[in-house]
């Protein structure tokens, strides 16, 4: 079964391909000749995932899925949320985003946060949705060199390490994206003949 993952982010493709069963061949946007920036103009994480999946289905005709992820910080009323990738500006700099987040949290006792991933799947003419949540805390300084985005400052609940200090296999057991992806895989497996 061929399925398009509507993303240009090679880190996401690598993470999700590692979780896919052998019977599912994951195609990237590059593989189907899609090089344009897919709009993400929804005010919600769910809306952005659906918008990207709709775009690929309508323009290219493939069964596909798209995800959107946000970091929701309790003391910041859920910010950066849907704006996580461009929290510090349109250039989407992870370093600048982390710096802004740490500045915004200065002096705040509550450092609880959660990553939320929503996957929207167009499959056999229907739209399906899967959500994964990983709760934790924002630590005071960057730790680790693995992963991407806010991983150096996010410490999952019950863990001593940040996402950026974990190997991909360890992160893939507990991450928000892994949780949503497992639901996607279970759904796809249940549809196989």
Is 10 annotated to bind a ligand? Reply is yes
Is 176 annotated to bind a ligand? Reply is yes
How many H-runs (helices) and E-runs (strands) does the chain carry? Answer: 5, 7
Is 11 annotated to bind a ligand? Reply is yes
Is 150 annotated to bind a ligand? Reply is yes
Chain CA centroid to CA 10, Å: 12
Is 60 annotated to bind a ligand? Reply is no
Is 162 annotated to bind a ligand? Reply is no
Is 149 annotated to bind a ligand? Reply is yes
Active site residue 68: yes
| 3-class secondary-structure state, position 90 | coil
Is 148 annotated to bind a ligand? Reply is yes
- For residue 55, which of 45, 69, 41 has the smallest C-alpha distance? 41
User: Which residue in 54, 63, 68, 110 is the catalytic one?
Assistant: 68
Alpha helices, H only, the chain = 10-17, 45-60, 94-104, 168-174, 176-191
Is 9 annotated to bind a ligand? Reply is yes
Total number of residues shown for the chain: 193
CA within 13 Å, CB half, 87: 26
- Beta-strand relationship, 126-138 and 80-81: unpaired
Residues with a known catalytic role:
68
Residues at the annotated binding site for substrate?
Answer: 7-12, 69, 148-151, 171, 176-177
Residues at the annotated binding site?
Answer: 7-12, 68-69, 148-151, 171, 176-177
Residues at the annotated binding site for Mg(2+)?
Answer: 68
């Amino acid at each position: 079964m061929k399925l398009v993952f509507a993303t240009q982010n090679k880190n996401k493709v690598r993470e999700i391909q590692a979780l896919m069963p052998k019977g599912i061949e994951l195609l990237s946007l590059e593989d189907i000749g899609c090089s344009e920036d897919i709009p993400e103009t929804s005010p919600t994480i769910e809306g952005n995932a659906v918008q990207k999946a709709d775009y690929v289905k309508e323009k290219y005709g493939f069964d596909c899925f798209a995800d959107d992820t946000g970091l929701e910080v309790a003391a910041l009323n859920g910010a950066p949320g849907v704006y996580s990738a461009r929290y510090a500006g349109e250039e989407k700099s992870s370093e600048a985003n982390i710096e802004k987040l740490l500045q915004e949290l200065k002096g705040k006792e509550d450092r609880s946060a959660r990553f939320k991933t929503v996957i929207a799947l167009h499959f056999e003419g229907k739209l399906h949705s899967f959500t994964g949540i990983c709760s934790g805390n924002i630590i005071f300084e960057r730790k680790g060199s693995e992963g991407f985005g806010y991983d150096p400052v996010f410490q999952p609940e019950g863990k001593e390490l940040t996402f950026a200090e974990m190997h991909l296999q360890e992160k893939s057991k507990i991450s928000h994206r892994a949780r949503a992806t497992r639901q996607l895989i279970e759904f796809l497996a249940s549809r196989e003949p």
